[in-house]
Amino acid sequence: MLEEKGVSVVVEAVLVLAVVIPAILYTSLTYQNHALHEMEAKHLEEVKTAFLQLQTAAERLQPGGTATVPLSLGGEPVPSIIPFLPFVVGRTAGGTIQFDNSWGRLLFRSQNYRYPDMEIIYENGAILLVQEGEALMLSPPAALAVRENEVYHQVFELEGENFRISGTGVLSLTLICENLLVSENLVQSGENLTIEFHSPAEDAWTEYLLVENSWLAARGYSPTLENLKLILPGPLHYFKRVYRMRVRVGS
């Protein structure tokens, strides 16, 4: 009887474990997937913040000045609710930071497991967000301002060698303002001032220029928009400032 009772207890224990362990694993994996999704979303918000900080810093730089912001590529650990089962502990995916000299754009590309992938781009003084092939302007550039018949135009040009870094961990992004070119021109009556933008993300920049076009029209400047060209009739006094900056990445 004692042997039968002992066997019965063992069988019951095995049956309990057969139910409990899969339930624990299922709960843990469900939690891990949810936690991974949330952490990847949080990481991308941190990347957006870093790019926005870089944008703000660039607008304040003068020749010889520098601005540095930290950028996490990813790889943060996902906490487990079952400490004694370390094999269910995960990490967020790494990312890629690259510079394209042909367009003067700094780009971060995520490689997520759960959260939708996206690209965050700094170009022409603006921040773009690209998701599922659609580009949106997350933060417009401080490019244009007007006062009476005066037009102020700021251009932020990124220069440097192409690079591409993929992985995890934290890097530093540094902008160095190497030069500032200042010019001014008088646009006579009967002449036109043409301000042109260049970007592979034409839809996002077109949306931005449509807003600028409406804003200028409301102030009586009679602008027209052709592709990525904003055209203003004279007479105007045109002031242009071109900030030439180099981007560097450090560990």
Cβ distance 66 to 173 under 8 Å? no
Instruction: Kindly list the domain boundaries of the chain, sorted by start residue.
Output: 2-250
Residue with tokens 């303002």: 177
pLDDT of residue 82: 57
User: What 3-state DSSP class applies to 223?
Assistant: coil
pLDDT in tens, 16-63: 445 544 544 445 555 566 677 788 888 899 999 999 999 999 999 999
Residue 149 gets which letter from DSSP? T
Q: Is the dihedral of CA 7, 9, 11, 14 positive or negative?
A: negative
pLDDT in tens, 180-215: 999 999 999 999 999 999 999 999 999 999 999 999
Burial 166-177 (b: 16+ CB within 10 A, else e): eeeeebebbbbb
**Percent of the chain residues past pLDDT 70, beyond the cut:** 80
pLDDT of residue 8: 58
Phi-psi region of 46 (alpha: psi -120 to 50; beta: other; left: phi over 0): alpha
Q: 115, 99, 43, 36: which is closest to 74 by C-alpha?
A: 43
Query: What global pTM score does this model have?
Result: 0.83
Cβ distance 200 to 100 under 8 Å? no
Radius of gyration of the chain (CA): 27
Greater confidence, 98 or 35? 98
pLDDT in tens, 171-180: 999 999 999 9
Cβ distance 57 to 125 under 8 Å? no
CA max distance for the chain: 111
Secondary structure (DSSP) of 1-15:
-HHHHHHHHHHHHHH
Q: 128, 87, 138: which is closest to 105 by C-alpha?
A: 128
User: What 3-state DSSP class applies to 201?
Assistant: coil
Cβ distance 204 to 120 under 8 Å? no
Beta bridge partners of 146: 151
